[in-house]
Amino acid sequence: MLDERFIILGAVLSFFGGLSYIIDTIKGKNKPNRVTWFFWAIAPLIAFFAELEKGVGLQSLMTFMAGFNPLLIFIASFVNKKAYWKLDNRDYLFGFLALLGIIIWQVTGDGNLGILFAILADGFAAIPTLIKSYFEPKTESSLIFLLGINMAGITLLTIEDWNFAHWGFPVYILLVNILIVLLVKFKLGLIIQRRIAEHNSR
């Protein structure tokens, strides 16, 4: 088990990963979906305050960074003409889940429900970026997601009290970042598409 102070190191690395994405966004190298990044900012911050209410200690710093970096990227996206904001029924669902999480959390006082709905909202919000990364991996940068894996991994290795409030959001962040890295850095989507095309051409 790691000393929980390693989480601070992970947070610093995560911040620099976010900074690199912000720079690429401003330069126009990335094409961020503002809907995704907006809800990637809101949902983790909901979970962060719910974790604090449940008594989660330094591990909650990972969840805070999972919302703080996207908030900065969302703001930076307005400098990038390639960034886009597209609202459809699915996007309204993201907002509804985030709002529902806040309401249930406040009404019931159950931080675990707040964390759960934050995970659901964040996961649904990831869908547009996952789809874009599947078809157009060049429109994303992988470093922020690689460092997200690092941050989540460090956080999980410091947990002593294995309850949902401690491990729920870090496990989710670990899994979704692994998937995005596979799609962006290793071009998994393009590999799958090529295999499907080769199979259909036989």
- What is residue 7's predicted lDDT score, i.e. its pLDDT? 95
- pLDDT for the residue 87: 66
Q: What is the pTM of this model?
A: 0.87
Positive or negative torsion for Cα 118, 175, 11, 29: negative
- In the prediction, which pLDDT does 175 show? 98
Q: Are 4 and 47 in contact (CB under 8 A)?
A: no
Contacts of residue 168, Cβ cutoff 8 Å, sequence gap at least 6 = 47, 112, 115, 116, 119
Q: Name which of 89, 72, 66 is nearest 34 in CA terms.
A: 72
pLDDT in tens, 123-163: 888 888 898 899 999 988 999 999 999 999 999 999 999 99
